[in-house]
Structure 1
Amino acid sequence: MTENVSETRPKKIFVGPSHLLPAQPEVPSSKYYTLRYVLAATLAVGESRIILPAFSDDSDALFCGCRMLGAELHWEDEQEQVLVIRGVERPTSSGPLTINVGNAGAVARLLLGLGALLPEVTFVTDHPESLGKRPNRELLEALTSLGVICEGTGPEGCLPITLRRNELHGGHVTISGARSSQYLSALLFLAPLLPEGLEIDVVDGLKSQPLVRATLEVLQEAGIVVSHDAALLHFHIAPGQRYQPRTYRIPGDYPSAAALLAAYAVSNDPSSILHLDRLRPGDEVGDVLLQTFKDMGADMQIAGENVTLRGGRRLQGFELDGDPVIDCIPVLVAAACFAEGESIISNIESLHYKESDRINDLCSELRRAGCNVEPQSDAIIIHGQPQGVEGGVTVDGHSDHRLLMALAIVALRSHRGLTLTGAEHISKSYPHFFTELQSFGATIRTIV
């Protein structure tokens, strides 16, 4: 008999080989858009409403951070589906602040940009082995050039970080886009509040361009005008602009949907059918993700915001430029482990700098489970095994929610299941992922 998986942070769980039942779960709301809309509302004058914000550890860190910046947040309804935010226009404080950003890298970096407006603020994390190792050097160098005194930890500007406003000004700044687009997004949110506005030149290329376009979309909705070139390498933001209060509706989260789609795509059972809705069409991440499942030969139908996927199809190997769907890569690798032939996912060097090293750490654990994968500096090569993998071992989630999702998918198609350690870190983005799988018929139990 399968016991219920506790929602109170299990440390270790077993995921066994399973046939999944027909399911129509509610897709979690987008982290990308929740973060950006909440920040825009925090910087507006008056009340904004956020409909269906994401629930996760990252969201909690975001809400706490915005309150520290002076915004007022409360729920309009008992079901906590509408978040009301009274903005501050410009973050202020009467003394030094300390903001704990948890394990939320995007929250940390976007708040670092706004922290430039405060007299003194220190950003800390209670996840030193994860977020505490992620670099922020390029963003701190940019803020320093704008008149902020920045004190990071180590040569890569890791947390904890203290910012002190000095002679803050705008003008011109250069930022590298090689490791993260979050540095650029942080400057874009800050720019309208600078006395001289801002000209931004991006050097070294730009990773994760769809997320920059999401930032630009949100800024436009909030009343901010940003001029930029087609390549997203040069930006101009005029001074004197004000964020406007708005009502924002959060769409479904494609990286979370990717995990569910992958779990059903690898199923050998054609009666395993997954129905998802609230997946906004025209989303860049979504378009690439859904096309990838089509390229794999998955039995998938798309109608507006609704996606249906049926298991039972023999998947095929594929080639993918992974940068546009960078947060979906671990679960796509997991699905490719059961496809026929070779799959190559390239242009993913930035995965080395996530919550874990999502190239080397992921491949190490997949190999332990019996998968045939080859890590490269900026790619993963997968030799599929449609017959399944052996399993029967313990694998480490490396404190990374994306790795945990990928390992769970592999466990479903293993012969002997997998024991996952660090399962509590799933709460970073999708707290109910394991209980959802269990409700679909997956064999999952907590190991005490």
Structure 2
Amino acid sequence: MKTLITRPARGLHGSLTVPGDKSISHRSLMIGAISHGMTTIQHFLPAADCLSTLTALQQVGVQITRQATTVQVQGRGLTGLIAPKKALQMGNAGTATRLLMGLLAGQAFDSTLIGDASLSQRPMARVSEPLQTMGAELTLTDGHLPVTIHGRPLQGTHYDMTVASAQVKSALILAALQAKTPSTIVEQLPTRDHTERLLNAFGAKITTAVDHRTITVQPQPQLQGQTVTVPGDLSSAAFFITAASIVPGSKITLKRVGLNPTRTGLLDVLARMGGKIEIERLQNPGEPLGNLTVTAAKLQPIDLTAADIPAVIDELPLVALLAATADGVSHISGAGELRVKETDRISTICTELRKLGVAITAQPDGFIIDGRQPWRLQTTQMDSHGDHRIGMMVAIAALRLTTSLQLAQATAINISYPTFFEDLRQLLPATEVLA
């Protein structure tokens, strides 16, 4: 049980460099593994999910060393991975699991992926079915983990995606690299493009049409190891962006945060709500990044639909929290994907915010939130439900309160942000009493 920090008298202040981007950390490891030569990853995120990826790659023969947030990967090329001696334990790492399904589908051996109780409930047929159009053979357990991947030669495909998912897209791209002929993948809506950017930096030939949805992958590239500096994770920065926006008197600066346009949905949402955020863009040869200065603001309600969701999918718990402080009624729809995250996030967001007295109503694919209603605390006993993003959302919500809250299963936050509470303390005045 974790005692949460409550409302700081003078708000949040100071500057912070958030940990490396989780999505890019995962992908840098995998792409380095199938490249030739050494890949050096700087500002790597050493969270539980990323370490699951690192360990799994070591089990298929990749030499990887890590010193704090610097990782070196000795690549084995597209065909150099070897059969693991036991099942690959993926823990709670959904991104790693889905991407590895694509990466291992074209290898010359069988492999099995297993996960924890939460990951074992998440849908995997959405990955296996499109991979099968390339000739891949995967055996699921009632549509879930464990999954056994029977590695075999793959053919190129033309696939129209049925879900807006960067994980599914990336699995297909990693498989398509190993195919005999080119592949075309058509997205419903544009999703984060870290896989395409990174692969092209390593020497792949992946092109995106002017519609930003049609992706062509040329097979059998000779990938070469690179030095990758991982930008700060915008999904991690999002918690402090939200905190500074809703805690009166706050003004903070977040340094060297990734600003990939497929990931900046929360910044767009906050601007539409009347938030105060200044962006200083920095020169960077890879992913765009910059410094963000956020000041507390009086927020207005917002309506989000399916077209808005892919760019803000991971931040929707925070959008709900922002809406809970806005001067009006907000509507979020088209977010059914939240039902199949680490938890059913529509359910868990509503459960935890209602404990705080927030007027939130669940919909099949989203929420209705009346931010005009004053919060009337129902209980001090909160719960992450084993979901890292729900746990951090609750911790940020606690900053609006003066009554102390207790958070059960707080260790779930380590999945993506082990230093979350330490970083939050950096933004508190030295005179604040910390739990």
Q: Normalising to structure 2: TM-score of the pair? A: 0.89
Distance 1:190 1:353, change over 3 A: same
What's the CA shift for 1:149?
3.1
Q: Structure 1 CA distance, aligned partners of 2:184 and 2:166?
A: 13
**Is residue 2:90 matched to residue 1:106?**
no
| Aligned-pair Cα RMSD in Å | 2.2
Other-structure match for 2:287: none
Match of 2:168 among 183, 208, 213: 183
What's the CA shift for 1:158?
0.7
Instruction: Encode CA deviations 1:142-163: one digit per residue, 9 max, x unaligned.
Output: 3334333322111xx2111111
Other-structure match for 1:427: 414
Q: Structure 2 CA distance, aligned partners of 1:398 and 1:158?
A: 20
Other-structure match for 1:292: 269
**Is residue 2:301 matched to residue 1:317?**
yes
Greater shift in the superposed pair: 135-144 or 330-339: 135-144
Greater shift in the superposed pair: 16-25 or 435-444: 435-444
Other-structure match for 2:138: 150
CA contact (8 A) 1:374 1:382 kept: yes
Can you give the 5+ residue segments of structure 2 that lack an aligned partner in the other structure? Answer: 282-289
Q: Report the 3-state secondary structure (helix = DSSP H, G, I; strand = E; otherwise coil) of the residue aligned with 1:395.
A: strand
Q: Structure 1 CA distance, aligned partners of 2:404 and 2:355?
A: 12
What's the CA shift for 1:295?
2.2
What's the CA shift for 1:232?
5.2
Q: Structure 1 CA distance, aligned partners of 2:315 and 2:84?
A: 41
Distance 1:395 1:152, change over 3 A: same
Instruction: Encode CA deviations 1:80-109: one digit per residue, 9 max, x unaligned.
Output: 343211101124325654111110100001
CA contact (8 A) 1:197 1:237 kept: no
Spell out the pairing of 1:232-247 with structure 2 (5 A cutoff). Answer: 233-247=213-227
Distance 1:120 1:285, change over 3 A: same
What's the CA shift for 1:444?
5.6
Q: Report the 3-state secondary structure (helix = DSSP H, G, I; strand = E; otherwise coil) of the residue aligned with 2:257.
A: coil
Spell out the pairing of 1:46-65 with structure 2 (5 A cutoff). Answer: 46-65=37-56
What's the CA shift for 1:290?
1.7
CA contact (8 A) 1:51 1:250 kept: yes
Match of 1:136 among 93, 116, 124: 124
Other-structure match for 1:252: 232
Q: Report the 3-state secondary structure (helix = DSSP H, G, I; strand = E; otherwise coil) of the residue aligned with 1:248.
A: strand
What's the CA shift for 1:344?
2.1
Q: Report the 3-state secondary structure (helix = DSSP H, G, I; strand = E; otherwise coil) of the residue aligned with 1:152.
A: strand
Other-structure match for 1:333: 320
Q: Structure 2 CA distance, aligned partners of 1:25 and 1:83?
A: 22
CA contact (8 A) 1:29 1:252 kept: yes
Q: How many equivalent pairs are there?
A: 418
Q: Structure 1 CA distance, aligned partners of 2:207 and 2:122?
A: 30
Q: Report the 3-state secondary structure (helix = DSSP H, G, I; strand = E; otherwise coil) of the residue aligned with 2:16.
A: coil
What's the CA shift for 1:140?
1.4
**Is residue 2:254 matched to residue 1:276?**
yes
Spell out the pairing of 1:366-381 with structure 2 (5 A cutoff). Answer: 366-381=353-368
Q: Report the 3-state secondary structure (helix = DSSP H, G, I; strand = E; otherwise coil) of the residue aligned with 2:150.
A: strand
Q: Structure 2 CA distance, aligned partners of 1:253 and 1:391?
A: 33
Spell out the pairing of 1:381-420 with structure 2 (5 A cutoff). Answer: 381-385=368-372, 387-390=374-377, 392-420=379-407
What's the CA shift for 1:387?
4.8
CA contact (8 A) 1:314 1:339 kept: yes
Instruction: Encode CA deviations 1:284-322: one digit per residue, 9 max, x unaligned.
Output: 322x322322222223222221111122x3222122323
CA contact (8 A) 2:358 2:374 kept: no
What's the CA shift for 1:228?
4.1
Other-structure match for 1:7: none
**Is residue 2:7 matched to residue 1:13?**
no
Q: Structure 2 CA distance, aligned partners of 1:28 and 1:95?
A: 30
Match of 2:22 among 31, 34, 43: 31
What's the CA shift for 1:16?
3.0
Spell out the pairing of 1:211-226 with structure 2 (5 A cutoff). Answer: 211=192, 213-226=193-206
Counterpart residue identity of residue 289, structure 1: L
Other-structure match for 1:3: none
Say which structure, 1 or 2, has more relative contact order (CA 8 Å, 6+ apart). Answer: 1
Counterpart residue identity of residue 426, structure 1: I
CA contact (8 A) 1:369 1:395 kept: no
Q: Report the 3-state secondary structure (helix = DSSP H, G, I; strand = E; otherwise coil) of the residue aligned with 1:46.
A: strand
CA contact (8 A) 2:19 2:417 kept: yes
Q: Structure 1 CA distance, aligned partners of 2:259 and 2:169?
A: 25
CA contact (8 A) 1:375 1:381 kept: yes
Distance 1:281 1:119, change over 3 A: closer
CA contact (8 A) 1:391 1:411 kept: no
Q: Structure 1 CA distance, aligned partners of 2:311 and 2:295?
A: 25
Q: Report the 3-state secondary structure (helix = DSSP H, G, I; strand = E; otherwise coil) of the residue aligned with 1:278.
A: strand
Can you give the 5+ residue segments of structure 1 that lack an aligned partner in the other structure? Answer: 1-10
Identity score, percent: 28
CA contact (8 A) 1:39 1:66 kept: yes
CA contact (8 A) 1:142 1:173 kept: no
Match of 1:163 among 126, 135, 149: 149
